Amino acid sequence: MNKAPSPTPAPASASVLEAGATDRPVLTIRDMHISYFARGQEIKAVRGINLTVNAGETLALVGESGSGKSSVAFSTMRGLDAAGRLMHGSIHFHETDLLSLGPRELRSIQGSRIAMVYQDPQTALNPAFRIGEQIAEVVNEHTAASGWQARQRVLDLLDEVNLPDPAGVYLRYPHELSGGQQQRVLIAMAFACNPELLIMDEPTTGLDVTTEAHILDLVAKLKKTHGSAILYITHNLGVVARFCHRVAVMYAGEIVEEGLVSRVFSKPAHPYTRSLLTCIPRLDLSKRDRALNAIEGRLPNLADLPGGCIFAARCNERQDACENTSVTLDPVGDDATDFVRCLRWREMPEFQFDRHTRDVNAMHTATILDTLLEIENLRCYYQLRRGIKEFVTGGAAKYVHAVDDVDLVLARGQTLAIVGESGCGKTTLGRTVVGLQSATAGDLVFEGNQLAGIARAREPDLRRRIQIIFQNPDATLNPQKSVGETIRRPLDLFGLVSAAEQKNRVAELLQSVNLPPSFAQRYPHELSGGEKQRVAIARAFAAEPELIVCDEPLSALDVSVQAAILNLLVDLQKTSKTAYMFISHDLSVVRYLSDQVAVMYMGRLCEIGTPEEVFVPPYHPYTEALLSAISIPDPSIEQEIVRLEGPVPSPINLASGCRFASRCPRKVGEICEREDPPLYQFGDNHRLYCHIPREDLEKMRPVIRYAGEEMAVV
């Protein structure tokens, strides 16, 4: 029988308090054990967790999928689903034992003194009610505000979370807002009663970096104003570095390391923390430098826990003793809040981030020797449905300009990354190349052949040569079909191998994505997220394509899985010479994988060049803002703060001039709104469109630098 791990010693108080924080605990969790019961098995999801969050403090709870971090949050809110049960432990809010409260007492605390922001705003907001009504309900239930006062409070909150036109947003339904706007509504709702404890469960996952940066600024401001304690649950270490004071790292239901962010990120003690920090692509690392560090293997089976260290099966530092010795928490250094659960942490070499500095005069420049795809003056407009008013008045039709006059060239065997916020047109561009939708105007020329708009109208062989990998592998995998059948489909469709050879080819393809051939018999529900994405990649490569459009294929994956898939994409590209059009909002991933980067805003191209050209000055002001918003977990790197404040223009019937003008922190003047920006060419392939004089662009400082240096991180 496995012994329960020793609980985390309860930190008496943080010796280095966060500015504005006190040593007064708001949330105290002791010896928490949570199990789920399914198919006659007990899954011990959380074991022996201790956490303390003080007033005015932000504690990050970090871990990958399956680590148990969200279970801790739901249990604290007394909201575990029917299969989950809190088996043991105590949860105190100030002095109040939350587990002893009845439903009515609990409801009076939740929403007013304790609030939670969920990862998916669509499940937290009621689609049938207007935004204003939903926030007003929280205000009415927990305060004595009159109807008018509640409405005014809601308008103030919407304004506080920087939603443009609060009165308009008040009247809208959730589906009329973007994901980032919905998330701000949830934050407004959470702060409606100035809660003393705020639990945030992956509140920025899936948002653009600019929106994420804005939301984090906002929560920091609200925390400062109201002195709330925040438990911030995330798998994003960059966000933790930027936003949190203390961090607890969870793995497979246990806290394996806890301490001040400043110490954990500069001197991580646990091999898992060290691996997590080094498997994130760095802005100074390219696929040409080396492969990424991935954490091989899978989480242990929580229904049949291994003896000894829970991380042993995946740990590079493992020794025999690790597998048969119970591992307790050890204090790290003199700080009463820092602990690690590892037998060998004292023997580890000093931790260092793998810095790759480059000679700026010997930067990589793109050489397009063998053109595969030319995109010329591409436009994709959607006509909006005409309303009654337009019919009556005969008003002109309205169009969304999703992609507007885009020119790009992609070379054989290279990766062209398309980056930008949601709505910039990057996904529309990718779907048009694959033929999932047709263009309004312009040309797509693939190996000298003009591509027809819709895939159905293309020759089968042209369809075969351009494939797509979606963000969500479930879009590719039919739950009724085995992995083998899924991969066999393109072999059949395009007649690539004989029926007799198909089994071997499926096995080869599975091996090429580092899955055993036996996976051919499995069904999607038996696979992890990373395994599903590998199968989707194998299916795309089964067609032996020359170009794969990768539409955010990593954004739903944990960082360790993401590193393994990135390595896989690089290896497959080397052997097959397949080109990728890689659509992403993650600039670190783009930096690592791409040969060229195109930055798009509201359907237009702002800048294009190699990552070494685009990620250093001169920048387009939009690129500069995107870079500034990246969350970087390396304390030896510093960033300028550039925030985009103005309203995002409507993509319908856009006016002339620079589309970024309403948000541009470097706007030159009225010319930006009047005239389309001119093209500047720096070097052979680096182009950007802006009214800033060339000499001023050339004087820009790097927005991401090594601390204390002027050198750009690239």
Query: 281 φ, ψ to 5°?
Result: -60, 135
Nearer to ligand SF4, 309 or 424 (CB): 309
Nearer to ligand SF4, 257 or 558 (CB): 257
Residue 295 beta carbon to ligand SF4: minimum distance, rounded to whole angstroms: 12
Place of tokens 């091996």: 511
Count residues binding ligand SF4 (CB under 6 A): 25
Q: Near ligand SF4 by CB under 6 A, which window of 25-33, 83-91, 551-559, 685-693? A: 685-693
3-state class (DSSP) for residue 607 = strand
- The burial class, CB within 10 Å (0-12 / 13-18 / 19+), for 254 is buried
Nearer to ligand SF4, 216 or 340 (CB): 340
The DSSP code for 678 is P
Query: 575 φ, ψ to 5°?
Result: -80, -30
Q: Near ligand SF4 by CB under 6 A, which window of 285-293, 387-395, 493-501, 686-694? A: 686-694
Nearer to ligand SF4, 315 or 600 (CB): 315
Residue 311 beta carbon to ligand SF4: minimum distance, rounded to whole angstroms: 5
Site for ligand SF4 in 612-631 (CB under 6 A): 621
Site for ligand SF4 in 303-362 (CB under 6 A): 309, 311-312, 315, 317-318, 322, 327, 342-344
3-state class (DSSP) for residue 458 = coil
Nearer to ligand SF4, 410 or 608 (CB): 608
Q: Near ligand SF4 by CB under 6 A, which window of 257-265, 372-380, 556-564, 684-692? A: 684-692
Q: For residues 124 and 71, is the Cβ–Cβ distance under 8 A?
A: no
Which helix (H) or strand (E) covers residue 657, if one does?
none
Nearer to ligand SF4, 328 or 504 (CB): 328
Residue 687 beta carbon to ligand SF4: minimum distance, rounded to whole angstroms: 14
In DSSP terms, which residues pair with 32 in a beta bridge?
Answer: 49
Q: Which residues contact 523 (CB under 8 A, 6 or more apart)?
A: 479, 480, 481, 482, 483
Residue 157 beta carbon to ligand SF4: minimum distance, rounded to whole angstroms: 31
Interaction between residue 666 and ligand SF4 (CB under 6 A): yes
Residue in 125, 157, 513, 658 binding ligand SF4, rule: CB under 6 A: 658
Residue 658 beta carbon to ligand SF4: minimum distance, rounded to whole angstroms: 3
Cα distance between residue 602 and residue 662, in whole Å: 12
Residue in 664, 703, 704, 712 binding ligand SF4, rule: CB under 6 A: 664
Q: Which amino acid is at 131?
A: I
Give the residue among 602, 697, 622, 606 at the shortest CA–CA distance from 663. Answer: 622
Provide the CB-side half-sphere exposure for 570 (13 A, CA): 20
Residue in 580, 592, 660, 680 binding ligand SF4, rule: CB under 6 A: 660
Residue 256 beta carbon to ligand SF4: minimum distance, rounded to whole angstroms: 7
Q: For residues 370 and 447, is the Cβ–Cβ distance under 8 A?
A: no
What is the b/e burial string over 544-558, where b = at least 16 CB atoms within 10 angstroms of the residue's CB? ebbbbbbbbbbbbbb
Nearer to ligand SF4, 347 or 359 (CB): 347
Q: Which residues contact 575 (CB under 8 A, 6 or more apart)?
A: none
Rg over alpha carbons for the chain, rounded to the nearest Å, is 26
Interaction between residue 668 and ligand SF4 (CB under 6 A): yes
Q: Which residues contact 288 (CB under 8 A, 6 or more apart)?
A: 364
Residue 477 beta carbon to ligand SF4: minimum distance, rounded to whole angstroms: 34
Q: Is 297 left (phi over 0), alpha (psi -120 to 50) or beta?
A: left
Q: Which amino acid is at 378?
A: L
**Cα first-last separation, the chain:** 51
Interaction between residue 687 and ligand SF4 (CB under 6 A): no
Q: For residues 534 and 514, is the Cβ–Cβ distance under 8 A?
A: yes
Residue 343 beta carbon to ligand SF4: minimum distance, rounded to whole angstroms: 4
Nearer to ligand SF4, 241 or 664 (CB): 664
Give the residue among 53, 56, 18, 25 at the shortest CA–CA distance from 224. Answer: 56
Q: For residues 580 and 593, is the Cβ–Cβ distance under 8 A?
A: yes
Binding flags for ligand SF4, 33-72, as an x/- string (CB under 6 A)? ----------------------------------------
Interaction between residue 295 and ligand SF4 (CB under 6 A): no
The DSSP code for 110 is B
Nearer to ligand SF4, 131 or 247 (CB): 247
Give the residue among 49, 53, 50 at the shortest CA–CA distance from 13. Answer: 53
Nearer to ligand SF4, 350 or 359 (CB): 350
Q: Near ligand SF4 by CB under 6 A, which window of 64-72, 151-159, 408-416, 662-670? A: 662-670
Nearer to ligand SF4, 670 or 709 (CB): 670
Binding flags for ligand SF4, 391-430, as an x/- string (CB under 6 A)? ----------------------------------------
Binding flags for ligand SF4, 689-708, as an x/- string (CB under 6 A)? -xxx----------------
Site for ligand SF4 in 467-526 (CB under 6 A): none
For 395-532, where are the E strands, in sequence order? 399-411, 415-419, 441-446, 449-450, 466-469
Nearer to ligand SF4, 49 or 150 (CB): 49
Q: Which amino acid is at 70?
A: S
Q: For residues 690 and 696, is the Cβ–Cβ distance under 8 A?
A: no
Binding flags for ligand SF4, 239-278, as an x/- string (CB under 6 A)? --------------------------------x-------
Residue 331 beta carbon to ligand SF4: minimum distance, rounded to whole angstroms: 16
Give the residue among 162, 182, 214 at the shortest CA–CA distance from 629. Answer: 214
Interaction between residue 93 and ligand SF4 (CB under 6 A): no
Residue 38 beta carbon to ligand SF4: minimum distance, rounded to whole angstroms: 28
Cα distance between residue 81 and residue 45, in whole Å: 13
Q: Which residues bind ligand SF4 (CB under 6 A)?
A: 271, 309, 311-312, 315, 317-318, 322, 327, 342-344, 621, 658, 660-661, 664, 666-668, 672, 677, 690-692
